Amino acid sequence: MYYVWTILKRDLRSMTSRAGGGGTKSSMLLLQWVVYLALGVAIGYGSSRLFSYVNTAFAALPGLIDGVTVNILGGSALFAIFMVLMSGLQIIYRTIYESDDIGFLLVQPVPVPAVFISKLIVSYVALLSIGAAFGIPPWIGWGLANGAGPLFYVCSVVGFLLVLLLAHGLVTLLLLAAMSRIQGRKMKQLFIVCSALVGVVFVIFTQMFSSRMSQAQDPSAMLHQISASQLAKSWFLPSTWMVNTVLSTYPRFGINGIPYALALAATSFGVAAIAYWVSGRCYLTGWASRNEEGGPRKSQAAGRVRARRGLLSGLKGTYWSVLRKDLTLLLRDPIIWYSLVVSVITLGFFIFSTVRSVSARSETAGQAMGTTVVMMASLMGSVSSAQTGGISLSREGHSFWLLRSNPTDAKALMWAKLTYALLPQLIVITLGLLAGDLFGGVKFPLWLGFLLGFSTAATLASIQILLDVTYPDFGMKVEFGSSKNARGTGKLLSSMFLSMGVAAAWMFLWQLPDMLAEEGVLWGRPVQVWLTATKALTVAVGVVMLRIVNTVGVKRITRLLNDA
């Protein structure tokens, strides 16, 4: 215990000095806390309002109120477990295997389990800080709406801590077992694949849920559907154990909470104990192999690499060689094409559910839907492009010397980077437009959709490239979609927010004529004229931005190649 406490004290000191030290790291940390706090307050307030409404509006239907209560609270606990499974895997892995100080600690006269336990506690606290923002506020909201006593709040918090401990322990066990067999880099690739699968399942689930809810004619029907859900009746789910334990403090639910409380506590502590026991056998092996590759890429793997090269082979010069290299690296960084896949799926669901609803309506509605499809496709594309366009040059990292010391043509390099930035957006926009056309309902020429989509993407990619060549950060070390330093993380985040901001600005511009028409401020011209003008403006700005990139951007990149 002495060693664990000593290590934790040091971690705590380093965290507090980071938070109070000023600079980007400190601001990012504080911003993160503020966001979590605001989120928690919003969820708690929203839940309180919802439960108060249910209590008042359906006072005559106590069965319905109870059904809604257990299902919503059970759902929130399940969501917290889901969050741990989704983001916790990486957090736990990074903390117990990749913390900078583990190597130092392991060569000190400190027992290995003490190092492991201290890192495990740090990862648990990190997960708690994220999970608590989603998992605890609904309970507080329910408590406030029902005038709950202190016992309810204590049970809720303890129950949540145990549920989180259980999920955390399970993920740790999985990691320990996997790391003793799989090398670090393969492990990270596995995370991406797992996260992708869970993410896709989540998107599909939420879209199905929202589609089901949209069929409900009024709030009462909606609540009946929630109440009828089987979520709270699944006895094997830890979320059910938590709900039944906490609600057993209310006699009106008629639940015997003791078996559930025992099951929750025994399973949580049991899994944590097993993880501790397994760590004694597997932890060092896993830690030692964290940076290793999965062995020589021979035979089949090597063949795959060569076959992929055939795609653009034979095309020489700066443009093609840089584009080919960037696409090869893109294919080996699953997080980028994963976000692309999620964007396409989300967009597909959106188009399917919204276009269907206007299919039988007028020409005007169809045209408006066409604009909406282009807008949504641009927005989704912009999110994906933040990982490519926003850091297309910075991604070169310290390997930039290879481009600098070879006869690299600055203009060709610029256009290769621009193509790379445009690609994800164009893929999403093209698929979105084709889906809109396929499902029907869009009364909008496809060529116009492509022209607008391409112009929006060109504007966005040009801004991203210009910013990146003006403020490159070759030390940001992007790996698996995130940066290892605060500056790099800030650059990635700002790139994403900027992309979404520009897409949102275009959305606003395209909606402006309709908004002005509603206000009656069109300066004597029909709304169609203004709609055409905004579309023409979109195309013009796209062309102008490409011109600017071709001059200003090329100048900047020439300088980076020859003088830095």
Partner 1 sequence: MIRADRLCKKYGSLTAVDDLSLEVSAGEVFGFLGPNGAGKTTTIKMLTGLLVPTSGRATICGIDVQENPVKAKSVLGYVPDTPDVYERLTARELLRFVADLRRMDEPKAERRMAELFDLFELTDRQDELLSGYSHGMRQKVSIAAALLDDPKVLFLDEPTVGLDPKSAKLVKDVLRSLADRGGTVFVSTHILEIAERMCDRVGIIQKGRLLAVGTVDELRQKIVPGEGGESASLEDLFLKLTGGEEYRELIMHLGEDSGPSEQER
Q: Contact, 103 vs 128, CB < 8 A?
A: no
Q: Is 563 in the site for partner 1 (CB under 8 A)?
A: yes
Binding mask 325-344 for partner 1 (x = CB under 8 A): x--xx--xx-----------
Q: Do residues 453 and 538 touch, judged by C-beta distance below 8 A? A: no
Applying CB under 8 A, the span of 202-210, 249-257, 269-277, 556-564 interacting with partner 1 comes to 556-564
Per CB under 8 A, contacts with partner 1 among 352-381 are none
Which residues contact residue 399 at a Cβ distance below 8 angstroms, ignoring those fewer than 6 apart?
Answer: none
Rule CB under 8 A: is residue 298 a binding residue for partner 1?
yes
- Among 531, 526, 562, 370, smallest CA distance to 450 is for 370
Q: What interhelical angle do 486-519 and 527-548 show, nearest 10?
A: 160
Task: Mark 246-285 with x for binding to partner 1 (rule: CB under 8 A) and - for no binding.
Answer: ----------------------------------------
Question: What contacts 24+ positions apart, CB below 8 Å, involve 482-488?
Answer: 486/24, 486/25, 486/28, 487/24, 488/394
Q: Which of 3, 79, 320, 450 binds partner 1 (CB under 8 A)?
A: 320
Q: Is 407 in the site for partner 1 (CB under 8 A)?
A: yes
Determine the interface stretch with partner 1 among 132-140, 172-180, 247-255, 396-404 (rule: CB under 8 A).
396-404
Q: What is the dihedral of CA 487, 129, 266, 260, to 10 degrees?
A: -140
Kindly identify the residues of this chain, within the stretch 157-196, that bind partner 1 according to CB under 8 A.
Answer: 185
Burial of residue 60 (number of CB atoms within 10 Å: 0-12, 13-18, 19+): exposed
Q: Which of 109, 147, 296, 310 is in the footprint of partner 1 by CB under 8 A?
A: 296
End-to-end CA distance of the chain: 51
Nearest one of 153, 174, 162, 129 to 37, comparing CA atoms: 129
- Site map 60..89 versus partner 1, x via CB under 8 A: ------------------------------
Single out the residue of 301, 438, 522, 540 in contact with partner 1 (rule: CB under 8 A).
Answer: 301
Least separation in angstroms between residue 325's CB and partner 1 is: 5
Q: How far is the CB of 503 from partner 1 (least distance, A)?
A: 29
Options 10, 293, 360, 515; binder of partner 1; rule CB under 8 A = 293
Transcribe 226-273 into DSSP letters. Answer: HHT-SGGG-TTSHHHHHHHHHHTTSGGG---HHHHHHHHHHHHHHHHH
Cβ at position 71, least distance to partner 1 in Å: 45
- The β-bridge partners of 483 are 478
Nearer to partner 1, 105 or 416 (CB): 416
When asked if residue 402 is in the footprint of partner 1 (CB under 8 A), the reply is yes
For binding to partner 1 (CB under 8 A), which residues are involved?
A: 185, 292-293, 296-298, 301-302, 305-306, 309, 314-318, 320-322, 324-325, 328-329, 332-333, 397-399, 401-409, 561-564
